[in-house]
Structures are given as C-alpha cells and as structure tokens.
Amino acid sequence: MTEGWNVAVVGATGAVGREMLQILQERSFPVASLRAMASPRSAGKTLPFGDTEVEVEALSGADFDGVDIALFSAGSSVSEAHAPRAAKHGATVIDNTSAFRMDDDVPLVVPEVNAHVLDDVDTDGGSIIANPNCSTIQMVVALAPLQQKWGLERVVVSTYQSASGAGQAGVDQLVAELRDWAERGGGADDRPDRGGDAFEHPLAFDALPWIGSTDDSGFSTEELKMVHETRKIMEAPSLSVASHCVRVPAVRSHSESLTVDLQQPVDVDGAQRAFARAPGLRVHDSPADNEYPTSRLAEGNNETWVGRIRRDLENPETLHFWVVSDNLRKGAAWNSIQIAEQLFT
C-alpha cells in the first residue's frame, strides 16, 4: 500500500471530469498529486479539489512523466491521440470513451460483473483499460445476477437517456429550450421548433428515438455499443441482445426497460432476492406504494436501481424490469474510479 498515487484527470473541466474529481475526494482515494488536463481554451482555469485549487493544463503540451493513473474522459479522438502516449510514459490509463472498448487486448470492465479481468493488468503502468458505455454499464450490473442464477437467453432493452449523456452541451440545449418556452408564455404553440448544438431536433417536450450515427444495419452506434459491449463484458459472444436507444428530456440519469428471456423459469420473489444481494444494485419495487426507480431518485448516487420487476404473463422464463442509474456517476466517473480502486487500493 502506497501513501498515494499521482493522478491525472483528462477532460477535467467536462461534466464527467468534474464528477471524477468529486468522487476521488468523496472516496478519499490516495492521491499524492493531482493534475487536471483539458483543451487549450481551458488552460489556466482552476478547479476545486478538497481544500485546494488545481490549475488546468493544456493536454496537448502536457507530459505524463510520473503519472501513475490517467483517467480519460475527453472524447474518443482525444483518447486515441493521447491515451497511448500516457501509457507509453508509464501511466495506467482508464479510458471513458469508445476508443478502445472493442480492442481484444483492452479489458472492458464493470467491477461488479467482471473484475477478474483486472487480475492480468500490470499496475506498474503501460496498460489501457476501457470503461463501457453508460447505458451498457447499468444494464450489465442488473443482468449479472440473472446470468449467474438462471442463465441468459435473450435481452431486449429500450433506453430513455438523459440530456447529460450528450455532455454539458446537451444539458445547455435542454435548459435553453425550456427557458425560451417559459419566457414566451408557455403555450403549446411556443414550444421549440428546431435543434441546437447537441441534438438535431428540440429535446424539450419530446423524445428522440436516435442517438449516434448509423451503418447499413439501420441500428445507431449507441444501440450497437450495447450489443457488442454486453457480449464482451459478460463473456457471452453469442448472447442475443436487441436495443433501442431514445433521448428524453431528463437532465440526468438514464432509465431502461428490459425484457430478459432466461434459461430457466423465474419467480418475482427470487428475482428480487437475487437483485438485492448483487453488488451495486438497489431494489426499489413497490408500485402500489408509488415506489419505483426514477431519474431524480438515482441522481447523485453510485447505485444502479431496479424496480417494476414482474414475470411475463405467458412465459415463466421471461422477466420484465426497469433499471435507472446516474449516467455521470455509475455510467462514467464512478465506474472508472472503481476500476482504479480495484487496481491500486
């Protein structure tokens, strides 16, 4: 056990980067020194960390000499350009982008599900570890106890993803649309009629059934991430996964509706017990008392919430349930720091 590690947060001024700084502090992670890195336009700004302020340095001119842990969350192109450079200088890189997730030589990790793959990581530096997509993370946390007890046959998921999944620009667009609507009197005819920087269409008062780009399959990149990443994390290359990803006008936290076909019959009480015993999951499931997971309930905490648990009316091997998690925390910053804790504390 060391007295502390030299940590760099890349993308420190972004929504996820700020959450990383906050969680490092909350967890009393053994930080000997902290460096905050971002784009040149952010260089010179300061960010709070504990009782001090950390000055942001431009990533383009920064070296990684002496950095033990580099937490990246600044976009795939940035990670592709700079994560290998950090690893070459001896840092263990934990990357929150899609840049390396499907690389056969890069572990894709959700600690509650597949922490064992970290056993082969050399903590002396030079390794890159990938953080999965936010929607994938919360889903596999909920799927893991079902896989262990009943076996998985097929997963069908529809996501309801918040504006913050598109970064601060997504939140800014949603807030601007709502403010503009309120200033214009709030009538039905005064709803926003065009998109902004983050979304091609207005998000306020609507749901956008499209996240990402596409290929010849017709599925969006967000939907394909959930398919391929789930198979890799759960070590189930032939698992059938179908996804439909939707953006909704919540500020924070993603929600998911799941229908899962299992290899054996399941009962609701057994499923609730399995969820309740699983690490990182919290059951909130009493609809008659208006108790079920919501975006606001999940906001600001690290757990993945599950509720609306019910067995299919016709198929005893099929389970339906609802999953919610804070996309900036468990879906990004917290998962990254869990990986760091697994390796370094």
Tell me whether residue 245 is one of the annotated catalytic residues: no
Options 116, 134, 244, 320, the catalytic residue: 134
Options 89, 116, 254, 284, the catalytic residue: 254
* Residue that has been written with the tokens 């390796």 in this structure: 343
| CB distance 230 to 139 below 8 Å | yes
Catalytic site positions: 134, 254
